[in-house]
Structure 1
Amino acid sequence: MTDEDTARLALPLLAAGQAQKETWHNEALALLDIAVQATVEEVGRNAPPAAPAPGACWIVGTAPSGDWADHAGAIAGWTPGGWRFIAPRAGFRAWHGTTGQEAVFDGTTWRRGEVRAARVLVDGQQVIGPRGAAIVMPTGGSTVDSEIRSCVATILNTLRDHGLIAI
């Protein structure tokens, strides 16, 4: 960052007495158009598409080539003036239109389709909270019905498969 750019998105700032301020202003708007409410065509693509439509964006992969070289992990947007890039910061989000999933930058990599929460509420009622401790499988007992034992085992295994209780 320089004194001529904003701290978060590196948007160009206008200077007093600057000639052609509309150029700097338009550049900032083009970058904002890519970053705000970002929607991407693809996550992890390394080569620019051959004929991108203006306004289309991609999340650049880890080994970019061509016009995307040196922009690994960035959001690349095609504009009438060529490629524009937004370097992500932790917490950046982009909607991946093809899968309908959100991609979130964790500070190191883009993660798609993950939901992170301390708990999940539906109509104000908690339906999922922190993972519970392991539940011991029933064993022994002379009056335990084999069908109920099988049913309880199925329930416990399903809860474990869903990650709701520990193995």
Structure 2
Amino acid sequence: MPIKHRKIMLLGCRSVGKSSLTIQYVQGQFVDSYDPTIENTYNKTVKINNQDFELQVVDTAGQDEYSLFPAQYAVDVHGYVLVYSIDSSKSFEIVRTIYEKIMDMIGNPNVPVVVVGNKSDLQAEREVSREEGEGLAKDVNAVFLETSAKDNLCVNDLFQKIVVQIERSAGDGVDGGADKKCIIS
């Protein structure tokens, strides 16, 4: 089977861990220092259900509720990962705003989306419950999971899930067997 190229865009407000998730996934390391991203693109070749994929992961600059949604964020993008931090209810609210901007731009409610509550290692500082995350994902017809880039918890699952969503929306029906430790709804 020929390799499939898929472009995935990570969106969310600043310091929710978009870069940490991306670098953990692509390079297998956790970057502890915070250096605001302008925009970086990473490539990784993976095999999911006997299909090779060349993933182009676009790690965007942090958005806030006033950020414009650049047109290039909708061009040739196969799926979106909307990231908030479980210790920031503001970052959670911004994910909903970003989703609305994607819908305004694309107009397709079936666009593949995964909603991610990152920093699940910060349980003591939690401001957003798992139920709230699941509720938002249900509202926007997305897959939900919580991750920790620091502990490398469910990071691979996150990218596997978005690829499966992309393939499902394309009608290719690749089904993703999830890691049993991750709760995905």
The answer to whether the superposition gives a TM-score over 0.5 is: no
TM normalised by structure 1 equals: 0.19
Task: Look at both structures and tell me which one has the larger radius of gyration over its CA atoms.
Answer: 1
Structure with higher helix content: 2
Q: Which has the higher contact order (CA 8 A, sep 6+)?
A: 2
